[in-house]
């Protein structure tokens, strides 16, 4: 069952960019958060999306927001991707697709690619906005707009 606006972000654990255990309970319910699911490191659309979040990262941080990127790529792939593009936020490795399944993120492009979905949650962990389309760069301004409505 897919997460909808008004639902609370479920708790999950994953390995982050540095190989550390990330526990959503340490962030969810404590500050606003943007969790974006993307198909694959080092692909054109995903790189554009990650770099757009990077370029606006300070705007999100100034509003007290944590950004988390999630894909099924390995920790090593995330490390290379984050280093190459100087990404200041955590990327989470969802190699078994358990987080993607927990959120109900469907595959896109006729089931060939993992879906691209961005969730914006308030400081209580309640989803206030969902962006579900494959046009990567549209997610950033709309996420920021949703966050600005919260503060």
| Continuous segment of H or E residues that includes residue 131 | strand 127-132
Distance CA 86, CA 54 (A): 8
Tokens standing for 122? 């308030």
Catalytic residue set: 46
Cβ-based burial of 101 (10 A; exposed 0-12, middle 13-18, buried ≥19)? exposed
Distance CA 110, CA 77 (A): 25
């Amino acid at each position: 069952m897919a997460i909808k606006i008004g639902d609370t972000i479920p708790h999950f654990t994953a390995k982050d960019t540095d190989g550390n255990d990330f526990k959503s309970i340490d962030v969810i319910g404590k500050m606003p958060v943007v969790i974006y699911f993307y198909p694959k490191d080092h692909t054109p659309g995903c790189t554009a999306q990650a770099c757009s979040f990077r370029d606006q990262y300070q705007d999100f941080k100034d509003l007290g927001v944590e950004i988390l990127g999630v894909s099924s790529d390995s920790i090593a792939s995330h490390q290379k991707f984050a280093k190459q593009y100087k990404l200041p936020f955590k990327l989470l490795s969802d190699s078994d697709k358990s987080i993607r399944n927990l959120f109900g993120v469907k595959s896109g492009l006729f089931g060939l690619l993992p879906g691209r979905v961005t969730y914006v949650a308030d400081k209580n962990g309640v989803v206030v906005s969902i962006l579900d389309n494959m046009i990567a760069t549209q997610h950033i301004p709309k996420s920021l707009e949703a966050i600005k409505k919260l503060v």
